[in-house]
Amino acid sequence: MAPKNSNIRLSFPAVCFVWQIAMIILFGVFVRYNPESDAHWPEYRRMKNFTDLENDFYFRYPSFQDVHVMIFVGFGFLMTFLKRYSFGAVGFNFLIAAFGIQWALLMQGWFHSLDYNDGKIKIGVENLINADFCVAGCLIAYGAVLGKVSPVQLLVLTLFGVTLFAVEEFIIISVLHAKDAGGSMVIHAFGGYYGLSISWVLYRPNLGKSKHMNGSVYHSDVFAMIGTLFLWMFWPSFNSAICNHGDGQHRAAINTYLSLASTVLTTYAISSLWEKTGKLDMVHIQNSTLAGGVAVGTAAEFMLMPYGSLIVGFFCGLISTLGYIYFTPFLEKHLKIQDTCGIHNLHALPGALGGVVGAITAAAASTTVYGEEGFRGIFDFNRVAPVQGGYQAAALCVAIVFGIGGGIFVGCILKLPIWGDVADENCFDDEFYWEVRVELIYI
């Protein structure tokens, strides 16, 4: 086999330019402002008898900005933990997200925001949030292949990932009429299994040669905590961002806040129990503390009750940390899945759990607990509760099938020897895609 060539000087700029120009053309043909962001708003507003404040912007913009921080700083810095791949972590995360949100606005727009009068996609702040959600799926997948793929591969992963996401989301939300406010299924289970499947196809048998680079140093672990904390703090905004106005957003924020708090304690407990002298492991603290936010996503808007949220978080911290301890090594050894960031334990599994929690709580919903009007407002499709629970479970299957199927398909494409990825001994090293300046030992 010829030695790997990581020179991407032609392919990478070419892909960036072609795709960005394609975006401009497609936006030119398809995308316009919706009535709330269009200059005709004053007339529209009068017609609808709205005040300026009832513009959706004021309901959702603060949450949007929090979600935006999670996507760019949260995911980006969470992956800076490797001693010498921080540029790639935060820099490629930035690239994926900036490209992905454009393609997501189009894909999701065709499915959900198309105005059939003029064939245009009409966008507003909710579309921006959904686009951020959509790239989250791809960023999760990036976590599984961190340090092992080229930026060109990442752009391909994103193009297909966003496409698959939009289709899967359409089936789950608009065909099955399942609820998934915080995207446990649509985002996390899908993104997790998508990334794991790609990593499985791209299995590198000699990755051990890069072992010395596959770890953290002291300050890179501190950088990663920036990512962890911004994800953790803003997760209530993530899960509530596109909920119903009023109690929906309010309750989703509370549920998520509680679930996350509970997760922290079990994560710390298990992390300490595992180590001989009770020390804590930064890998667990950086990742498993977030699992409660993932798992409470589907049910965030439901009447999960405060103690229900605590219970979800309790088990998620426990399971996720045990996943890092037992399951990640198992995956690598026996299933040939190399999962750099352990997304299985942070996204795939908690996402699936979240789908199950959602199905159960939906099946148990009643108008006694929700009130007539509240019930109709949340489960907007006209079904009895147990049937809704069944559809929720079906939705989870769709997410997983799309993740695994799509991941295998995209993995095969990414296996072609044309994408400029590095050799097994050069993984987890910024040297190959970034100008890293010569440094004095000057701390």
- The contacts found for 216-222 with CB under 8 angstroms, 24 or more apart, are 216/81, 216/82, 216/83, 216/282, 217/83, 220/80, 220/81, 220/82, 220/83, 220/86, 221/81, 221/282, 221/286
Helix, coil or strand: residue 122: strand
Nearer to a copy of itself, 52 or 115 (CB): 52
Helix, coil or strand: residue 120: strand
For residue 195, the minimal CB distance to a copy of itself (Å) is 22
For residue 276, the minimal CB distance to a copy of itself (Å) is 7
Nearer to a copy of itself, 28 or 205 (CB): 28
Nearer to a copy of itself, 263 or 345 (CB): 263
CB atoms within 10 A of CB 28: 8
Nearer to a copy of itself, 16 or 173 (CB): 16
Query: Tokens 């791809």 map to which residue?
Result: 138
Phi and psi angles of residue 173, each rounded to the nearest 5 degrees, phi first: -85, -45
The whole-angstrom distance between residue 206's C-alpha and the CA centroid of its chain comes to: 29
* Distance, CA of 53 to CA of 200 (rounded, Å): 49
For residue 78, the minimal CB distance to a copy of itself (Å) is 13
Say which residues have a Cβ less than 8 Å from residue 6's Cβ, sequence separation at least 6.
150, 420, 421, 422, 423, 426, 432, 433
Nearer to a copy of itself, 200 or 234 (CB): 234
Token pair of 232 as six digits: 């953790």
Nearer to a copy of itself, 9 or 333 (CB): 9
For residue 257, the minimal CB distance to a copy of itself (Å) is 6
For residue 197, the minimal CB distance to a copy of itself (Å) is 27
For residue 10, the minimal CB distance to a copy of itself (Å) is 7
* Distance, CA of 88 to CA of 359 (rounded, Å): 38
